[in-house]
Structure 1
Amino acid sequence: MNDGAAAEVTGDGLDEPRDRYPDALRAGALLVVVLGHWIATLPRLEGGRVVGTEHLLRIWESAGALTWVVQVVPLFVFVSAAVSADGVARRLADGQRQRHWWAGRALGLARPTVTYLAVLAALALGALVGGGRLLASFDTSLTVHLWFLAMLLGVQALLPWCVRADRRFGLKAVAALVAMAAAADLLRAGVRTPGDLLELGAHVSANPGGFGWLNMLLVWLVPQQLGIAWKRGRFAGPWAGAGLLMLGVAWLLAAIASGYPVAMVGVGLAGNNMLPPTLALVGVMWLQVGLVLLAERPARRFLAGHSVARAVAVLGALGMPLYLWHKLVELPAAWLGERLGVPIDAGDPGMAGFWTGRLLWILLCALMVAPVMAAVVGFEMRRRRDVAAATGTGAIVAGGLALLGGLAASLALGAWPGALIGLALVGVASWLLRARPRPAPGARE
């Protein structure tokens, strides 16, 4: 990943020895995201041509339980907070303003996103002229993953406050966030009697977001607060891991029994625990943090004695480009599958050849991701990497709003016209978030 601030998935950018365990966690989570997205995309063919796509969970609701493991966004937030906590604490101790740090993060994210949206917008414009059958088949799936970048920017803007909260309250800060998230779900559900609590999930699912939209912030702050507490040594070891793992399983089973959807995904995909996030999603956080603690000692020994640490470092360096571009490679993969006659449309789960078709689809995507990554990394390496972030409050606020607005437009409107609108706004954000050199005293302007 270029630009130290694109560290949404890489860390704090400080010159100190790397802790490879968090890097390995991020690398593993990134691979889960990439493979999970590819597996979940089901191209549909007619006459050997792709005419549309479906999502795996639309046709196989039982797979929702798999999202308890593959919904690794909480893990990303947890690890990012742990990696960044010391740097933020040092800046707080030195009296430095944290907005400059956040501006660097936002700028490092905006620059590669401009490249991605520029290519996607060009493809969309070309499709308007020459017919965009393949692009239309994928459309919003090419921008849906950008929600994570917007969410992470939002919670990381509050990272200094979370560090202060940990310093003052310790794990009580985590408990307070969980309590507030529970209150948001209770208000959304309109609970009136103790008996309603037994069907809390059903009431939450039956009602519009309402107060539940508070959990767009509260729920995602929970893994951030947990990550800081882990870094501070407030909990550690296999016994704590086993306890959190059991808590996560019990939490999820109780949530499902009360009527929350099984799948930890977004709108229309076997339920909705994501928009807005619900209390059920917190169970996934306990589960994943428990696994992190259980795996920590053997994983550290493994990373210390094997060359896999080098592979982890390489994957970490490719984190941002791979996350941004892994969905777009589905277009050339579908095109190649058509030309070769690969049976990427294998019907429904349970039908003969379904999982063979999934495997062939993943292989096509993996084959196409290599040249795409080579082109993207080659381009990004030629760009200036020492661009300083803005320090003025006005520029940072305006740039941050433009960046979030561009990501939101791309999410809501898809490849067309979302990518074009998003490109304009993210481009403006990149310009606003850059430091402007001040003229020397006495120099003419």
Structure 2
Amino acid sequence: MTEPAQTNPTSADGSMSPADRSGARHVSGNGPPHSRPTRDLYPDALRACALLVVVLGHWVATLPVLEDGRLVGTGHLLRAWGPAAALTWLVQVVPLFVFVSAAVSTPGVVRRLGEGHSQRQWWARRALGLARPTLTYLLVLAAIALLARLLDGHLLQAFNTSLTIHLWFLVMLLAVQALLPLCVRADRRFGLKAVAALLLIAVIADLLRAGIRQPAELLQLGARVDANPGGIGWINLLAVWLLPQQLGIAWRNGRLAGARHGAALIALAVAWLAAAMASGYPVAMVGVQLAGNNMLPPTLALVGVVWLQAGAVLLAESPARRFLQRHPLPRVVAVLGALGMPLYLWHKLAELPAAWIGEWAGLPIDASDPLAPGFWLGRLGWLLLCAACLAPVMAAVVRYELSRRRDVAPAPASATVFLGGAALFAGLGVALLHGAQGAIVAAAMVLAASLLLRARPV
């Protein structure tokens, strides 16, 4: 019988050893604690918090713009309010999500590879798990786009690409998780040297992109990177996003643990970000057309946020585990974990009915000027309106997803997995470029991907 989480030992500094961390569990379900299956609460709580930050951050950042009571477009908080750029160091939590997801997924990867599953089979199942709910979302967007053509479509026109821009995360996650088994093997063989190798690639990519030829030019590294096209810097689409994944595996395997390592990473992050800003990198950790470009492709400045968030996870681990052991939060964390993918996929759609209600009812949703009186009170009202619109959508989506057949995906042939993956990436790319207006084409591609990834080998 499994012991409750309260009995898990900790090391002298309060952190958990690799064996203890794998045994740190949260209690779920009904019945006495000693009779129920358990699961580690800390990484689940981190992912749940990251999800809430993303959802609330996206809603706060969207600024509806009205003229004569009619919505004419949307702005972004980063364009309208300069100080918001520094906040992205905290609310750009994708590095945190990749870090924790890698730690959580590592035991399953080791188990499946040990059972004889190939890397191809493992990724096909993960890709199918993302493709199925994404297809539902795209089909609903396609239906909305069709209705908008028949009716007044000014709201959809204002929110078009905003309804799909968040799907970039799925593209990145699919790419780095395709390499997760290789990263697990790299950690086993090279340890933290694998992290150092990825960091070296990222540094070289930015140096080449900036055209640095003399040591004195390093003082303008960030400015030169930001001024030049991506070029060789696109290598960092993998190198930078694989970095938190490799760190997460190292954390899971006990190579990084405890407050001492956490404090060291945070100190590194502070120095790293200070040097990056001094050399001219943009402050905001976002993409183009907002406040500089540290995302497309990722830059060394974003690596500073990786150090910051990974360090915070390690520094907070011991007190957070004690808090989770003392407070009955398993159900809350479990519910947020179960709602993770649906909530991420559908939260942006809530802005569409929220804008319609706000426009129809004459609510103060216009938020074009952060310095105007009542701006932040209006943001609170907008958040509540979006949450109210999302609740019935989530209820319907969760009910539908629970009703779907959950059979185990077959293991298609290598060529079929390649074609399915290509179709999935292409569908997400169409959605990113064309928004809801391209949802029908994107849905067709994702449907093809789902069929291919479920195909039986011949």
Sort the TM-score into its range (normalised by shorter chain).
Answer: over 0.9
Given candidates 404, 413, 424, the residue that maps to 2:444 is 424
> Partner of 2:268 in structure 1?
247
Question: CA deviation digits over 1:123-149, x for unaligned, max 9?
Answer: 111112223111111110100000000
**Is 1:406 paired with 2:427?**
yes
Please, which runs of 5 or more residues in structure 1 have no aligned partner?
1-14, 439-445
CA distance in 2, matches of 1:150, 1:163: 21
Partner of residue 202, structure 2: 181
Q: Give the equivalent residue in structure 1 for 2:217.
A: 196
| 2:38 maps to 1:51 | no
2:131 to 110, 126, 130: 110
Deviations 1:286-313 (A, max 9, x none): 0001110111111112222222221000
SS in 2 for 1:43: strand
Residues 181-240 of structure 1: CA distance to partner in whole angstroms, max 9, x if unpaired?
010001111111111111100000010000000001110000000000000000111111
Alpha-carbon contact 1:264-1:274 (below 8 Å) kept: yes
How many angstroms does 1:391 deviate by? 2.9
In the other structure, the counterpart of 1:289 is 310
Segments of structure 2 that go 5 or more residues without pairing to the other structure are 1-35
Does 2:181 correspond to 1:160?
yes
Return the letter of the residue paired with 1:201: G
SS in 2 for 1:288: helix
Q: Which residue among 373, 380, 394 is the counterpart of 1:373?
A: 394
Change (3 A) 1:432 1:96: same
Shift of 1:90: 2.6
The 2-side partners of 1:145 and 1:265 are apart by 12
d(CA) in 2 for partners of 1:293 and 1:423? 40
CA–CA separation in structure 2 for the residues paired with 1:124 and 1:351: 34
One-letter identity of the residue aligned with 2:447: G
| Matched AA of 1:243 | A
**What are the residue-to-residue correspondences of 1:47-126 with 2, within 5 Å?**
47-126=68-147
Match status 1:263 vs 2:284: yes
- Shift of residue 89, structure 1, vs aligned partner: 1.9
Letter in structure 2 aligned against 1:18: R
1:149 & 1:73 partners in 2: Cα distance? 11
What is the match of residue 303 of structure 1?
A: 324
> Is residue 2:211 matched to residue 1:212?
no
Contact 1:107 1:389 in 2 (8 A): no
Q: Which moved more, 1:249-258 or 1:90-99?
A: 90-99
Give how far 1:379 is off. Answer: 1.4
Q: For the aligned residues, what is the CA RMSD? A: 1.4
| Inter-partner Cα distance in structure 2 for 1:167 and 1:93 | 14
| Post-superposition CA distance 1:329-354 (Å, at most 9, x none) | 10011111122221011441221011
Q: Tell me the TM-score normalised to structure 1 length.
A: 0.93
Q: Deviations over 1:416-439 (max 9, x none)?
A: 1x212110100100111114387x
Per-residue deviation, 1:387? 4.4
Q: Give the superposition deviation at 1:60.
A: 1.2
Distance (Å, rounded) in 1 between the aligned partners of 2:45 and 2:92: 17
The answer on 1:21 being equivalent to 2:42 is: yes
Kept in 1, the 8 Å contact 2:79–2:290? The answer is yes
**Partners of 1:182 and 1:16 in 2: how far apart?**
44
- Tell me what 2:171 maps to: 150
Superposed CA deviations along residues 2-22 of structure 1, whole A, max 9, x for unmatched, are xxxxxxxxxxxxx97421111
Matches of 2:401 and 2:408, distance apart in 1: 13
**Does the CA-based 8 Å contact 2:431-2:439 persist in structure 1?**
yes
CA shift digits 1:357-407 (9 cap, x unpaired): 111100100111110100111111121122424331122111111001100
1:26-83, CA deviations, whole angstroms, 9 ceiling, x for partnerless residues?
0000000000000000000112121110011011122100000000000111111101
Amino acid at match of 2:456: R
Show the 5 A alignment for 1:316-355: 316-355=337-376
Provide the rounded CA distance (Å) in 2 between the counterparts of 1:132 and 1:174.
49
Q: Which residue of 2 aligns with 1:273?
A: 294
Equivalent residue in structure 2 for 1:40, among 61, 70, 76:
61
Aligned to 2:403: 382
**Alignment check: 8 A CA contact 1:346 1:353 kept:** no
Whether the 8 Å CA contact 1:390–1:432 is kept in 2: the answer is: no
Q: Counterpart of 1:82 in structure 2: which amino acid?
A: A
Q: C-alpha distance in 2, partners of 1:21/1:185?
A: 35
Q: Distance in 2 between matches of 1:132 and 1:319?
A: 30
